[in-house]
Structure 1
């Protein structure tokens, strides 16, 4: 006896049309359980005239440094920068969502445009919606730009829909290594008024160098973005860590063939 599903009793083809046997080849519906190609930390800092962000250009396939030219700082609209760490395919999906959002907004030609808080609210809803469907976007995102009142804006949202704001933020490994360095300049709201652009840039460069030393999934080539309070947005690409030195490595004990 033939027990295959295709040969069970079914509606007549001359009445309901030909039977589609392809339905038996459909597999179960699955969700992505973990990211595959990922980018590491994004760091950001407020200063007296805006916000500064940095992210390296590496996309890792597990422990393999697979792509060394992946840009993870995205300009959105006229005066907003979005920095994304985590899964690169989800990064590309988010970039497409934001592009559609800006195109739709610009259709109106009403003199208004989306600012950083609007982009941030949109992303927070997208991330929480996907989390609620048990199909999260495997990313953590920093949004930087200007508030409606002209002040600097910097906020965070992750794959669980968790949102918060601070004068200094970082994702990935940077949350452990870069944040203490950045908080030497800005540890509380209002401290950014005392920090100049050159001091902020020095702290960003130093943090990216430390991350290259200590984060096995980072690169010594990175991009730096700046959003000033007058609305100017600049992105400097292919910045290299300067004055690199591995002399400290000779003092590390407990690994390899080194002896005390």
Structure 2
């Protein structure tokens, strides 16, 4: 028998790992997360839409979760990758608690961990398809940062992901100040979320606002914003646009 007749498994140029492609193309995604510091802690807002391609398939997706005692995480992007990140963080918090030494991971440590995870997966060309917002309060110090799917990260007094980075940040730069009360912070976040609802096709009018202080995390029940769609630009959005349909 000719040895050439025997079938050999084809592993390809990249080896057997090339057969496993996870979230190289995101399927169910969430849109913007917006967060800011206020005088007592951190406020964060996200809607509850989950888009299957360009279709708003799910309208009750929670994209903000408490992490340990001192941190709050919000995510835009692929929902299944967000669930994988939450699994990583559950293991991290459990390992930290097992030491039982009276210390616990603060928001800065959790944010640093997430930057390493995202950058590591990016270097493997198998990224976690998310942009993450991590805020928290520990020992009276508020912390707010974000990290992108390729590991780009920074801290600021207010952050946003997705369309919010283009449409909400200008509002926050103009109106945010360090002595914001809880009511003022909520009102400012609602203004940002209303603009995103008008301008982002992936946004849905069902949102949650979460706060984290020294006392812990509180996430609101879902609610809707009052909207006004009678603006002339909404009635005929392509009027005056050259070459439009």
Per the shorter chain, which TM-score range? 0.7 to 0.9
Q: Are residue 164 (structure 1) and residue 154 (structure 2) matched?
A: yes
Q: Gapped runs of 5+ residues in structure 2?
A: none
Do the aligned partners of residues 93 and 27 (structure 1) sit closer, same or farther apart at CA in structure 2, a change above 3 Å counting?
closer
- Preserved CA contact (<8 Å) 1:74 1:83: yes
Do the aligned partners of residues 107 and 181 (structure 1) sit closer, same or farther apart at CA in structure 2, a change above 3 Å counting?
same
Alignment of 1:99-248 (within 5 A): 99-147=90-138, 149-186=139-176, 191-192=177-178, 194-228=179-213, 230-241=214-225, 243-248=226-231
Cα-to-partner distance string for 1:114-149 (whole Å, 9 max, x where unaligned):
1111110110110111111111111100000025x5
Alpha-carbon offset, residue 106 of structure 1: 1.2
- Preserved CA contact (<8 Å) 1:185 1:195: no
Instruction: Name the residue aligned to 2:43.
Output: 52
* Paired residue secondary structure (2:72): strand
Q: Rg: which structure is higher?
A: 1
Cα-to-partner distance string for 1:172-196 (whole Å, 9 max, x where unaligned):
001111111122223xxxx31x211
**TM-score, normalisation: structure 1:** 0.83
**TM-score, normalisation: structure 2:** 0.88
Aligned residues between the structures? 233
- Preserved CA contact (<8 Å) 2:24 2:127: no
Instruction: Name the residue aligned to 1:71.
Output: 62
| C-alpha RMSD of matched pairs (Å) | 2.1
Structure 2 distance, partners of 1:120, 1:56, is 22
Alpha-carbon offset, residue 70 of structure 1: 0.8
Structure 2 distance, partners of 1:166, 1:159, is 18
Alpha-carbon offset, residue 36 of structure 1: 1.4
